[in-house]
Amino acid sequence: MNIDWGSVLYQQEKTSINDLKIIVEEIDQAKKEEKEELEKKLEAKLKDLMLPNEHLAYHYMATINQKLSDNFRAAWQKQNLKVNLEEVIEKWELTKYIKDNFIYPDVNLSTLPSYSFVIKLMFRLKKPYISLDENDFYIIDNPLRKDKVLSLPFVASSSWKGSLQNSLWQLKYEPENGLIRRILRRIFGNEKSLSEEIDLKRGRLYFFPTFFTKKSLEIINPHSRERRVGTVPILMESVPQDTTGFFTLLYVPFDLIGCEENEIKKQVACDIQLISEGLKSMFTYYGFGAKTSSGYGTAYESVEEGTITLKTKEIEFSLKNIEEVAPPAECYKKYLNEDGSIKEELKGSGKYGLLSDKEYYKIKNQLGGSRNEYRDFRQWYGLNGEKRQKYLYSLQSPKPEWPIWNFGNFSQLIEVSKNIATSLEFSGAHNEC
């Protein structure tokens, strides 16, 4: 099928590629004053071939003219040093569909056994993420792994599982330790084996893939030990530093259905703490993806939208970590809408996205506040505005069916997990993890 598809694409682009070949030959024979114009013409035509199937075009060029393929690769490299795939998604009018079905997967705990839980968080890459794709026809030797439909770079579910399991082993949760080995088996499932004596068992964790909407190129230049200079630069496709990704992890104690309540609580309390410690070490220290030993694939300690939702009726909703923010001073209320957001006329180019002093001076008579009062308000809004909006939104939101805990970094995730384990212990479990 791939060969047939490649043949169709070749027939479509054959004329354009042959035209490019002629231009390259003309450049070789042209005089200095003519070369510049021909090179501009070549660059413009090369851009026309920068399509989703430019990789097949490159391989065809390599078979007919090496210089042409080198030019094409250089043009591709220039365009792919930094790519924002969100622009392509918006052009296709698929933004909402991709966010709802790929970026932010929804988990309905109501259909799952009691004490199932889901951990969600938005992380930000501290170092670029690198992975290995299975595409044999690519313009460079080290492409990112991408999904087959939308070509979005992603971390596969199996990659998340392997990285978390490796991080727990690195934390000295050695598989030789009998207790820890049993815990790891019930979380991840047992090892694959051809022996009929071992009953294969699925683990309690389900990892959702994480999709990214940005990609770039990393250039690694190995140095000669003798001359201590670079030899041949190696291009590696990557997800760049500071790109955000949404991580979702589901825990389902399906194998505890029918067991005593206290035993279920005890195991869940133990597992949630172990998983949280592993997530912190995986994201912030050991990394995920390829070349983690060189520092790739790590994230910052802080996260956004971090939540743990546990399916239980035995823990009070008051345990939810909603940060209450004191209301603004009476004189500040004229600058805000009822939901805590800033009024439209105050948005500007100044600090915190508000009007500068000079901009505010032109409209101060409309709101009736002095310049000094506005400066004080702007400072308050910068420190408390976003938190206040989130707090007001939480008050207006319907009460969730299951208790939710919030966290803002991986250390808080561990503390929240300990609090959940303690709550389960008070309700009947005895944690022996």
Q: Report pLDDT digits (tens) over 68-119.
A: 667 777 777 777 777 788 877 877 778 888 888 888 888 989 999 999 999 9
User: Residue 38: its pLDDT value, please?
Assistant: 66
Across 27-50, average pLDDT: 65
Residue 110 falls within a domain, yes or no?
yes
Residues 255 and 392 in one domain: no
- Weakest-pLDDT range from 169-178, 272-281, 313-322, 382-391: 313-322
State yes or no: pLDDT of 353 exceeds 90: no
Assign 34 to helix, strand or coil: helix
More confident residue, 323 or 166: 166
Residues 272 and 387 in one domain: no
Domain that holds residue 57: 2-79
State yes or no: pLDDT of 9 exceeds 70: no
Residues 159 and 198 in one domain: yes
Residues 61 and 190 in one domain: no
User: Residue 373: its pLDDT value, please?
Assistant: 86
Residue 156 falls within a domain, yes or no?
yes
Residue 128 neighbours by CB under 8 Å, 6+ apart: 216, 218, 238, 239, 240, 241, 296, 297
- Number of structural domains the chain divides into: 3
Residues 304 and 339 in one domain: no
User: Residue 390: its pLDDT value, please?
Assistant: 78
- Categorize the per-residue pLDDT at 319 as very low, low, confident or very high, splitting at 50, 70 and 90: very low
- Weakest-pLDDT range from 42-51, 178-187, 377-386, 397-406: 42-51
Residues 306 and 249 in one domain: yes
Q: Among the three residues 30, 61, 79, which one is the final residue of a domain in this structure? A: 79
Q: For a pLDDT cut of 70, what percent of the chain falls above it?
A: 73
Q: Which two tokens stand for residue 414?
A: 């561990």
Residues 93 and 240 in one domain: yes
Residues 18 and 152 in one domain: no
Residues 172 and 67 in one domain: no
Q: Report pLDDT digits (tens) over 220-230.
A: 776 666 666 66
Mean pLDDT, rounded, of the chain: 80
**How far apart are the C-alpha atoms of 252 and 203, rounded to whole Å?**
9
Give DSSP secondary structure letters for 277-307.
HHHHHIIIII-SSS-GGGT-S-B-SEEEEEE
Assign 89 to helix, strand or coil: helix
Assign 121 to helix, strand or coil: strand
State yes or no: pLDDT of 315 exceeds 90: no
Residues 23 and 48 in one domain: yes
Contact 122, 303 (CB under 8 A): yes
Residues 73 and 108 in one domain: no
Residues 297 and 356 in one domain: no
User: Residue 254: its pLDDT value, please?
Assistant: 93
Across 314-338, average pLDDT: 73
Contact 46, 20 (CB under 8 A): yes
Q: Report pLDDT digits (tens) over 161-217.
A: 999 998 988 886 665 667 777 888 889 988 766 555 666 788 999 999 999 999 888
What are φ and ψ of residue 244, in 5° steps?
-95, 150
